[in-house]
Each structure stands twice: as structure tokens, then as C-alpha cells.
Amino acid sequence: MNDANLSVLFISALFFLSGCGVFETRTPQSPGQSRTDFVPPTSPDIVINNLKSSINDQNVDNYIACLSDTSFGGARFEYVPPVDVFGQYRSIFVDWNLNSERSYFNNLKVQSSSSESATLSLSAETMTFQGDSAIYNANYVLFWPHKVAGIPQEAQGNLQFFLGVDRNRNWSIYRWIDSRIGNNFTWSELKARFSGQ
């Protein structure tokens, strides 16, 4: 094939591709749409990063994907609030499960300000491994810009995640222990107030 034929072939290919929209700019994502930057959780640290970004993006599906689901061969998810919070909100936390997590997250999202982002800051982080499981411990500051008067927008405390792998070798949190630090409003209290119960 000579150079003239190659040039014609190349130009024809460009016209074909341009007709398919390959060179067109992508329509920007609207602010109301959920972002889909969930990374396959092949290690515990990816689960932590996915959790932080799901909160920042207010993406309930990505948030729930960080928690263990028996549908994928994972352990049953368990949430343990501080003792005093459990005593105050016993009826809410006695049967807390993935549906409870989804409900609280959606209720919080509906009441959120569109001008500010939610953030989860973690400090004093440790991770210990035991075979196919890991324990992650950190102090947290959760800021969620909701619009409900009388409920703090910031929660602080200590969290402990027990992580394991499912049948697809993906990691997730199967046990979440929330502990109070001082007199701070905790994540558990935020969950209880937005549980819808």
C-alpha cells in the first residue's frame, strides 16, 4: 500500500470517528448527580478512602458498598454505638442494619446544604492484620452541613472498624464500634437523629 492510499485511509478513519462523537467534549456532570469514583476495595485502606469519598460526595450507594453484605458472602454487618447512646436510643439501635444505614444517610442527604461538602477527617490511625481480617482504629471528626436546627453539624469520637473479605476477595466493614471522646456529639447520635424513627 503506497503513501497516498495510507493518507486516504487515515483521513477516512478520522471522518468516521468524528461522526461517532469520539472527539466531542463530554457534558459536565451536574452538581446533583452522584459521582462514581468508587475504587474496587481490594485492601482495607481502599475501604477507608471509599468511605471518606462517599461522605464527601454524599453517595449512598458507595457508602453502603463499604459495609459488609451477606449477599456477597460477607459477614453480617453490626453497628455498636456508645453505651449511653444505646441506652437513650435502644429501640433504634437494637436492630440496626444496612437498611438503617441507608435510611439515615438518605435522610441526612435530603436535609443537606447544597453549597457545602460533608467531610470525614481521621487521625491517630492504626491498622492491624490477622489473616483475612483487619482492625482499623481512628479518631474522627465528621462534618455534615445539614439544615436541621438543634442538631450539631459536627460529630467527634473514636471509631473501630473490623474488616474482612467476601467471596469476591473484596474488603468491607463488618463491625463498627463508635466510642465517645469527652462530651462530644457522636456519629451514633447523628445516626439516631436522622434514622427516621
pLDDT tens, per residue, the chain with 197 residues: 555 554 444 444 444 444 444 333 333 334 444 446 899 999 999 999 999 999 999 999 999 999 999 998 999 999 999 999 999 999 999 999 999 999 999 999 999 988 899 999 999 999 999 989 999 999 999 999 999 999 999 999 999 999 999 999 999 999 999 999 999 999 999 999 999 87
Q: Classify residue 113: in a domain, yes or no.
A: yes
> Letter for the amino acid at 17?
L
Q: Classify residue 179: in a domain, yes or no.
A: yes
CA atoms of 186 and 89, how far apart (whole Å): 13
Q: Could you tell me if 107 and 120 are in contact, meaning their C-beta atoms sit under 8 angstroms apart? A: no
Count of the separate structural domains present in the chain: 1
Within 13 Å and on the Cβ side, how many CA atoms surround 183? 0
CA atoms of 53 and 42, how far apart (whole Å): 16
- Give 95's DSSP letter: T
Containing structural domain, residue 46: 39-193
Q: Classify residue 17: in a domain, yes or no.
A: no
158: domain CATH number is 3.10.450.50
